[in-house]
Amino acid sequence: MRIVAALAAVLVGLTAAPAAADAHSKKSYVKVGYFTQWGIYGRGFQLAKVDQSGAAARLTHLNYAFGPVTAAGVCDSADAWADWQTPFPAELSVDGVADTAEQPFAGNLNQLAELKKKHPKLRVLISLGGWSGSAYFSDAALTDASRKKLVSSCVDLWIKGNLPGLSAGVAAGIFDGIDLDWEWPGSAGNDGNVIRPEDKHNFTLLAKEFRRQLDRLSRKTHKDYDLTAFLPAAPAKIDAGFEAKKIFKYLDFGTVQGYDFHGSWESRTNQQSALHVPKGAPDNPDFSIEVAIDTWRERGAPSSQLVLGIPYYGQGWTGVTSGANGGLFQPATGGAPGTFAVGTEDYKVLKTLPAKGFTVHRDWRAGHSYLFDGTTFWTYDDPAQIRQKTQWIKDQRLGGAMMWSLDGDDEQASLTRAVSAGL
């Protein structure tokens, strides 16, 4: 299934006429990268690397993940040490100057401030919730009073910058908006999450309240604040949790999960982020980017406000005994060993595997790539695959691309550079 570059370019362009691509080549696309709060620990990934790699200069938005919603129905820090306490030495600091005990605050928030100073057009958003921080969203969104309480606390902490124990407004101006990452309203997410049928309508009301309070603050500060949301790909989750015709009245855009369609929780190798359902796929119906985006549009979401999520990691299986179809759709014994978790691995590691006996396979018609060495199988995106996806984003008149997460890229920010070049 290897293919020469010239043929690949032809197949990439099958979905639209050249005139359509040219007509939208000057459109302004958002390019959203997630930075993980905990990445500064085991991963050793600081915001200085986002700058030094060239990624920051190629993003329009950086989402800082995550700020949890507590059982008390308010916003809080998941790790104050990482957020505003830990000092960075000069070599790990965005501005190349070591933090000192005399400065108002340190941590990632101070690094974000330094990053914005170097890249003043970069919009920085606090992302609320996440897989492990969404347990109490349903409670907080349940009533008018609880919604007002939650939103007020989030605006106070993150937008107004009132960090606990520090001077009022000490971190004001760092965040330019809020990203809602409630996983998932009306349907199962992490174990222990509170779920209600009313979540679907309450998500709309919550977005409305965030928009109301952000706009009210904007009239005082004369700054615009973004409101975005991370949205699921599965049609069942879309229908259970979101009023697609209504929420985009309040959101600037929504990022659609374009990955984790399959993974090592299943006993058969598969694609995790294909543009279209591949020929011969054993599941019917199956997941794909096309299915996800079309579902949102059919429910009333505007194309221009849908932003496609792209993974900077792969899903992997091992114990694959059949080499048929390059290992795709074959039985496996379990998840492939990964650096931080079984079954997942960063792009920066996967890119090295072709030199270690893995063959790269590409299905340009379905829009996905994978690696196989006869035993272990990885589904992943590389720069070539991302260029196909960015062309599809333009052909479909979508709003841009989102990347989870920046720490999975290599030191040259090869994936982010590919997104930027494509959009």
pLDDT of residue 357: 98
pLDDT computed for residue 281 by the predictor = 98
What's 327-389 look like in SS3?
HCCCECCEECCCCCECCEEEHHHHCCHHHHCCEEEEECCCCEEEEECCCCEEEECCHHHHHHH
What does the pLDDT look like over 173-221, one tens digit per residue? 999 999 999 999 999 999 999 999 999 999 999 999 999 999 999 999 9
Residue 9 pLDDT > 70: no
* Residue 19 in this model has a pLDDT that exceeds 90: no
Kindly state the percentage of the chain with pLDDT values over 90: 94
Decide if pLDDT at 23 tops 50: no
Average pLDDT over residues 388-407: 98
Confidence bin at 27 (pLDDT 50/70/90): confident
Average pLDDT for residues 112-122, to the nearest whole number?
98
Bin 392: left if φ > 0, else alpha if -120 < ψ < 50, else beta: alpha
* pLDDT tens digits along 216-233: 999 999 999 999 999 999
On the question of pLDDT at 17 being above 50, the answer is no
What is the band of 344 on the pLDDT scale with cuts at 50, 70, 90?
very high
pLDDT value for 322: 97
| CA 376/CA 350 separation, integer angstroms | 12
pLDDT in the model for residue 26: 63
pLDDT in tens, 282-322: 999 999 999 999 999 999 999 999 999 999 999 999 999 99
Give the mean pLDDT of 12-35: 62
Supply 64's token pair: 């800082």
pLDDT, one tens digit per residue, over 124-171 is 999 999 999 999 999 999 999 999 999 999 999 999 999 999 999 999
Answer yes or no: is pLDDT of 18 > 80: no
- What are the catalytic residues? 183
> Percent of the chain, pLDDT > 70?
94
* Residue that is written with structure tokens 């124990």 in the block: 165
pLDDT digits (tens, 9 = 90+) for 259-272: 999 999 999 999 99
**SS3 of the chain:** CCCCHHHHHHHHHHHCCHHHHHHCCCCCCEEEEEEEHHHHCCCCCCHHHHHHCCCHHHCCEEEEEEECECCCCCECCCCHHHHHHCCCCHHHCCCCCCCCCCCCCCHHHHHHHHHHHHCCCCEEEEEEECCCCCCCHHHHCCCHHHHHHHHHHHHHHHHCCCCCCCCCCCCCCCCCEEEEECCCCCCCCCCCCCCCCCHHHHHHHHHHHHHHHHHHHHHHHCCCCEEEEEECCCHHHHHHHCCHHHHCCCCCEEEECCCCCCCCCCCECCCCCCCCCCCCCCCCCCCCHHHHHHHHHHCCCCHHHEEEEEECEEEEEECCCCCHHHHCCCECCEECCCCCECCEEEHHHHCCHHHHCCEEEEECCCCEEEEECCCCEEEECCHHHHHHHHHHHHHCCCCEEEEECHHHCCCCCHHHHHHHHHC
Token output for 250: 């309040």
Distance of CA 58 to the CA centre of its chain: 16
The burial of 32, by beta-carbon neighbours within 10 Å (0-12 exposed, 13-18 middle, 19 or more buried), is given as: buried
Question: What is the rounded average pLDDT for all residues in the chain?
Answer: 94
CATH match of 5-317+383-422 with 3.20.20.80? yes
